[in-house]
Amino acid sequence: MAARVDSTNRVITSESDAHVAREVLDELQGPDGVLRVEHAGRVAEPIPPEVGRVLQQVLDVMAHGGTVTISSTPAELTTSSAAAILGISRPTLLKMARADEIPSHQVGTHTRFRAEDVHAERRARRERERAAFAELRSLEDED
């Protein structure tokens, strides 16, 4: 695969990359499907399961011609970065924190959020949005 990586750590998938990713995913679906790391002159070693799951997600996105963005998130987030992840304003996030709708803690006079709490809230918000959309579609189908 010769995927192009741009300056923002985005992997832009070409058609040939997508084809190779589909082939690798097909191989992984079989009974002997295991991702391994191979070093010159050393025995191929299996990749830890959690790393394998991430790589399979990357391959799945690439197999469908998508773009993968790679970034790291610190364990503790500021109000600005947490609000950006959630797609809401800082004041809205602070109201949620004061109402104990999302866990937070104080560092001096600054409010901080654990990244895992913010990502859990993001997943929950997405699920609520999907459920509301599904309900709206079912109401439309009834008409």
Using a 10 angstrom Cβ sphere, with 0-12 exposed, 13-18 middle and 19 or more buried, the burial of residue 62 is buried
Which listed CATH number (1.10.1660, 1.20.58, 1.25.40, 3.30.300) goes with 76-142? Answer: 1.10.1660
The whole-number pLDDT of residue 43 equals 80
Could you list the pLDDT tens digit for every one of the 143 residues in the chain? 455 555 567 778 888 888 988 888 888 876 667 777 887 878 888 888 888 888 889 999 999 988 888 878 899 999 999 999 999 999 999 999 999 999 999 999 999 999 999 999 999 999 999 999 999 999 888 86
Which backbone phi and psi does 78 adopt, to 5 degrees?
A: -80, 170
- Please state the separation of Cα 122 from the chain's center in Å: 11
What pLDDT sits at residue 47?
84
In contact, 71 and 9? CB cutoff 8 Å? yes
Rounded Cα gap, residues 84 and 140, in angstroms:
32
Domain ranges of the chain: 4-69, 76-142
Dig out the tokens for 117 from the structure.
């709490």
48 vs 28: CA distance, rounded Å: 15
Integer Cα distance of 6 and 49 in angstroms: 28
| pLDDT score at 30 | 66
pTM: 0.58
The per-residue pLDDT for 114 is: 97
DSSP state for residue 108 in the 8-state scheme: T
